[in-house]
Amino acid sequence: MKTKPSRLKPSGKHPYESTGSHSYVDRSTHEPAQCTPWPPPTPAPPVTVPAPEPNPGHGTVLLRDLCLGQIHKLYPGFQPRSDFDILQLASTRQKGTYADIYAWLDKTYASFTSDDYGRETTDKYSTQMLNKWVDSSGHKPKTGDEFGVFTQPLPDSKYSIRLFPGSVYAAEYFLDFVETETGQPVNHPFEHELWGIPDPDTPHLSVPCSGKLRSVERAAGIKPEDIFPGEEKYMLRDGLTCLLTRPGTRPVRFTVPVRRKKVVDEGVEVLHFPRTIDLES
């Protein structure tokens, strides 16, 4: 959330209402120059709001966890004093010493807690927003046993391809490269090209063309040297067939998994025929 450019009349909306869907896309870049942490002022008193609802599943994550992870990367060692600080710092980039950042947060908080909203409303909705489960895109898994995470080693390489889910509602899946031995993600570990290609089983039903894919960060215009180590990733789609090419080795082809929801009653009778049959040689 960005600071209001000028004093606005109350709109009747809460200060953290979103006009779009609850979705968070992680496009990580390098943190600002290291600064000596400044002792944080006294934290604001907690506000009374309902605890987060149970995780609805389907790959959703708590916005608080996403924001704290982003702050840890952008401002190492910085200590947010309140939920307002967390929400602001996770959605903006501030430069200068940590003392400068605290001063900016105080100024921003004073703006939001003026006659427009007040302290109680601002604090309450900061906490309510952070307690929301959001449909996250591009948030890398912490472990390999999370839902929908799959890893396959690449032939003749010390690296593996890892697929992990993004927004289930937008049918997003993500790809990155990890060290096979350690599982640590790496950025562009070798020369390669990644292509989206027609389904090899039904090429006559697909668009008869292929498209070269770019990582989320490079497509956003971020220079390779400015991408956080291990944060680069490609965005794919459920069911997309891909081809990975590397100099001097055979291409690798794979198809992204399709996430299906269990439907109690589809309203139709479903006849099951074989999806593929093998021809005799």
Backbone angles phi, psi at 164, to 5 degrees: -140, 150
With residue 163 as reference, give the H or E element that holds it: strand 159-165
H or E element, residue 244: strand 241-245
Per-domain residue ranges of the chain: 23-137, 150-255
Q: What is the pLDDT along the chain (281 residues), one digit of tens a residue?
A: 444 444 434 444 333 333 334 444 455 555 444 444 445 555 455 555 567 777 766 667 889 988 998 898 889 999 999 999 999 998 888 889 999 999 999 999 998 888 667 888 899 989 999 999 887 788 888 877 788 899 999 999 999 999 999 888 889 999 999 999 999 999 999 999 999 999 888 888 776 677 999 999 999 999 999 898 999 999 999 999 999 999 999 999 999 999 887 776 778 888 999 988 999 87
User: What pLDDT score does 200 carry?
Assistant: 86
The pLDDT value given to residue 4: 44
Question: Amino acid letter at 76?
Answer: P
pLDDT at site 173: 95
Is 0.75 surpassed by the pTM of this model? no
Euclidean distance between CA atoms 180 and 157, whole angstroms: 9
Beta-carbon contacts of 241 under 8 Å, excluding residues fewer than 6 positions away, are 196, 197, 198, 199, 200, 253, 254, 255, 256
What pLDDT is recorded for position 139? 82
- Asked whether the beta carbons of 120 and 46 are under 8 A apart, the reply is no
The 10 Å Cβ neighbour count of residue 61 is: 15
